[in-house]
Amino acid sequence: MKKLLVLLLLATFAQAQTKDEQQIRSLYDAALTEGKAYDWLNHLSNQIGGRLSGSVQAEQAVKYTKEELEKLGLDRVWLQPVMVPKWVRGTPEYAFIETKPGLTNNVPVCALGGSVATPAGGIKAGVVEVKGIEELEQLGRKNIEGKIVFFNRPMEATQINTFKAYGGCVDQRYSGAMEAAKFGAAAVIVRSMNLRLDDLPHTGSMSYGDLPVSERIPAAAISTNGAEFLSTTLKLQPDIKFYLKQNCKQLEDVQSYNVIGEVRGTEEPEKIMVVGGHLDSWDLGDGSHDDGAGCVQSMEVLRLFKETGYKPKKTLRVVLFMNEENGLRGGTEYAAQAAKKKEKHVFALESDAGGFSPRGFNFDAPQGFMEIVESWKPLLEPYLLHQFVSGGGGADIGPLRGEGVILAGLMPDSQRYFDHHHAENDTFEHVNKRELELGAAAMASLVYLYDNYGDEPTAVDNGK
């Protein structure tokens, strides 16, 4: 009798695994042969373009994605109002290095998001180069006052995980102007967050903290080639002058929206799973990798379930968050409304690392859940998903963090991501159709596995 029971259990597990294998295979087949993500991205990128919060393009993206979600026949599609900052770049920035009066070399720069403008005639001043914020204290006001501080700490090339390299130096972009202003600096120039040498400046958010408006100084990024040239020139001729002119402006907040679509769960509708990306982008490129790719992949998850006939047991939402880049207002508002309505979120998956080949997922989850994830590896590894890392999630889903909520992030190959991140070349032609589709299928597969086994530890053996 005992032997018969064991055989029955093994047969049940084998049958379940076959069912899981078939469902995941069908998701990949549908994504790779009749996917919609690439077409959606083409429209967002080439018909709308860069979608900076508060811009006309951002509102066009809201309208377009809502209409496309409605075409999928979801149970519900709606817009969630959110107030967002409106920062405008103005006319293109201009900068040069002056080695002697009348002898200049132009260098590529762009204003950092949230920066103030220079005076109408620009700023021309001496330059002091530092490798990080901590050096400001060592130099002191007497060496900084009236000068332009040049933050020139590069991303660490020896880091295999390029996001760790980014994290190791992005503080100079975000806080550099705030800290340099305390020592009387006239402006700051920051080396672009880019591992390769090129002529493209990379923008990104910066903050003045609680610094009074009257004390705020202009902040701009310089291309990596420009940073190398400026640094070399300073070594040869420390008394050079740097000229910067930018015309950016912070306007009053405006209303925008998160775009949300929902398929109601068949068995546990009170439990909510979220897939999402951020609909806004910077304005230099068209935001294809950051984060148009994540948005269309998230939309595709719901379409793939519809296409393959899978009806989720838990409620599944796609959320296209507004204002991740310069405020995180969309993610914060979504979490606030969820708490207000006492909604029970159990799982959230974000794609915000580019549309490159998927390699796996990171998780903000307890060890017990990571053991469940380990049991899913045999189902995912055939699709070259092999990285399952504890620690991560995503910026927009971060505000949902709480007891019992599993946060996850899609991990694409990251080696080329920072070639494009926040730069003019974050454009549609740099996204590979097949890689984008593989990412969408990977996300759908993880959602499927969580929906069936994510909160049932007794079902761990199913994936073995």
Nearest to 406 by CA among 449, 459, 455, 333: 455
The 8-class DSSP code of residue 238 comes to T
Q: How is residue 308 written in tokens?
A: 């393959």
Q: Specify the length of the chain in residues.
A: 464
CA distance 133 to 151: 8
252 three-state secondary structure: strand
Reported for 55-61, long-range contacts at CB under 8 A and 24+ positions apart, including other chains, are 55/86, 55/283, 58/256, 58/279, 58/280, 58/322, 59/256, 61/279, 61/280
Contact 205, 110 (CB under 8 A): no
Looking at 240-283, list the stretches that DSSP marks H as alpha helix, in order from N- to C-terminal side: none
Contact 322, 330 (CB under 8 A): yes
Q: Strands, DSSP E only, in 264-308?
A: 268-278
Strands 268-278 and 344-350: parallel
Contact 368, 457 (CB under 8 A): yes
- Which residue type, as a one-letter code, is found at position 406? I
Q: Give every CB contact of residue 198 below 8 A, 6+ residues apart in sequence.
A: 223, 224, 225, 419
The 8-class DSSP code of residue 43 comes to I
Phi first, then psi, for residue 33 (nearest 5°) are -110, -25
- Which residue type, as a one-letter code, is found at position 258? N
User: Which of 68, 307, 324, 333 is flagged as catalytic?
Assistant: 324
* Residue 324 annotated as catalytic: yes
Which amino acids are annotated catalytic? 324
